[in-house]
Amino acid sequence: MHLKTPEHQVAGHIAKDGKPGPLVDDKGRFFKPLQGESRGDNEVKFYESFSSNTEVPDHIRRYFPVYHGTQAVEGSDGASMIVLENLLFKYSKPSVMDVKMGSRTWYPEASEEYIQKCLRKDAASTTVSSGFRISGFEVYDHKELSFWKPDRKLLNGIKVDGVRLALRKFVSSNTLSETSSKSDSAFASSVYGGSNGILAQLLELKTWFESQTFYHFNSCSILMVYENDSILEGNVDDARPQVKLVDFAHVLDSDGNGVIDHNFLGGLCSFINFIRDILQSQDESSAENLHSSP
């Protein structure tokens, strides 16, 4: 089995300085190291529970990575790794964005130290104000034939306007300069819009979150992926925009309580509104263009 470091990680742990990071094989699988003692177990526990939960409808299951159990992987000191579907396997030059959902990343059951750490980070980012924060993203620029990625430090300090800009840049074809003129949001309707676009998928998820009381997805992210290249070649259908939930180290089983994940849901609704606004301003500007054409 030939394993290598994944190319398109935009957030989360990476393999550095001898510390284990995720790996991918050439058969579409993603190997995630267990994050220390209990957290690692917690993520496995979630995947075990979720994959066998018959009450999760199929159309919701597609928003989660397929789980292939755990495996001891050679070269990682016999440590176990979670084996998942490699979400980017079917894309050749994917543009990817990781958005951490919820107006808080802490939860009552966590340690006081962890709660304080999260509170600080939540207040310093757009988590508290907007109900979500962008953890990272990269966009493929087909003209320059390379990926553009914002500076991580820059991303950590952004406010609401910065989030709007990032969400526009994510679907633009003129991204490559950080100081470039207004992002053209050229792909907004093919990626965010349409019956199979990001917005439609988020709305499906929202409906499920309004009633599901199985899990509380603390500190989870929504991953948005699409194929930039195909759109410009005229294959609008090939953009294949996809929403996936990832990172379940802090998920808690909550079915005993009958309480919905209001924290995730609130943030999701806010995120949906941001996406909608971009789509609407697209409609408005193209309508203007129609009217102003000679």
Partner 1 sequence: MLKVPEHQVAGHIAKDGKLGPLVDDQGRFFKPLQGDARGENEAKFYESFSTNKNVPDHIHKYFPVYHGTQLVEASNGSGKLPHLVLEDVVSCYSNPSVMDVKIGSRTWYPDVSEEYFKKCIKKDRATTTVTLGFRVSGFKVFDHQESRFWRAEKKVVLSYKVNGARLALRKFVSSNSPSDDDDSPPNCAFASEVYGGSDGILAQLLELKAWFETQTFYHFNSCSILMVYENESILMKGGGDDEKKKKPVRAQVKLVDFAHVLDGNGVIDHNFLGGLCSFIKFIKDILQS
- Tally of CB atoms within 10 A around 139: 25
Size of the site for partner 1 (CB under 8 A): 27
At 287, list the tokens: 């309508």
Stretches 40-48, 76-84, 230-238, 273-281: which one binds partner 1 (CB under 8 A)?
A: 273-281
Stretches 54-62, 142-150, 237-245, 265-273: which one binds partner 1 (CB under 8 A)?
A: 265-273
103 belongs to the binding site for partner 1 (CB under 8 A): yes
35 belongs to the binding site for partner 1 (CB under 8 A): no
213 belongs to the binding site for partner 1 (CB under 8 A): yes
Can you list the alpha helix ranges (DSSP code H) found in 99-180?
Answer: 112-124, 127-130, 152-156, 160-169
Using CB under 8 A, pick the residue from 1, 14, 79, 259 that binds partner 1.
259
At 208, list the tokens: 């499920």
Using CB under 8 A, pick the residue from 86, 190, 242, 263 that binds partner 1.
263
We find the least distance from the C-beta atom of residue 268 to partner 1, in angstroms, to be: 9
CB nearer to partner 1: give 72 or 160: 160
Q: Segment 55-84, which members bind partner 1 (CB under 8 A)? A: none
Q: Whose CA is closest to 242, among 287, 281, 205, 294?
A: 205
CB nearer to partner 1: give 108 or 234: 108
Using CB under 8 A, pick the residue from 48, 210, 255, 283 that binds partner 1.
210
265 belongs to the binding site for partner 1 (CB under 8 A): yes
Q: Provide the β-strand partners of residue 245.
A: 222
DSSP 214-261: SEE-TT-EEEEEEEHHHHHTT-GGGG--EEEEE--TT-EE-TTTT---
SS3 state at 131: coil
116 belongs to the binding site for partner 1 (CB under 8 A): no
E-assigned strands of the chain? 23-24, 29-33, 67-72, 80-85, 94-101, 132-141, 146-148, 215-216, 221-227, 242-246, 252-253
- Tally of CB atoms within 10 A around 97: 24
Rounded to the nearest 10 degrees, how much is the dihedral formed by the CA atoms of 9, 11, 12, 16?
A: 60
SS3 state at 197: coil
8 belongs to the binding site for partner 1 (CB under 8 A): no
200 belongs to the binding site for partner 1 (CB under 8 A): no
260 belongs to the binding site for partner 1 (CB under 8 A): yes
123 belongs to the binding site for partner 1 (CB under 8 A): yes
128 belongs to the binding site for partner 1 (CB under 8 A): yes
Using CB under 8 A, pick the residue from 38, 146, 273, 285 that binds partner 1.
273
* Spatial distance between the Cα atoms of 130 and 82, rounded to a whole number of angstroms: 32
Q: Applying CB under 8 A, which residues contact partner 1?
A: 103-104, 108, 123, 128-131, 160, 210-211, 213, 257-260, 262-263, 265-267, 269-270, 272-273, 276-277
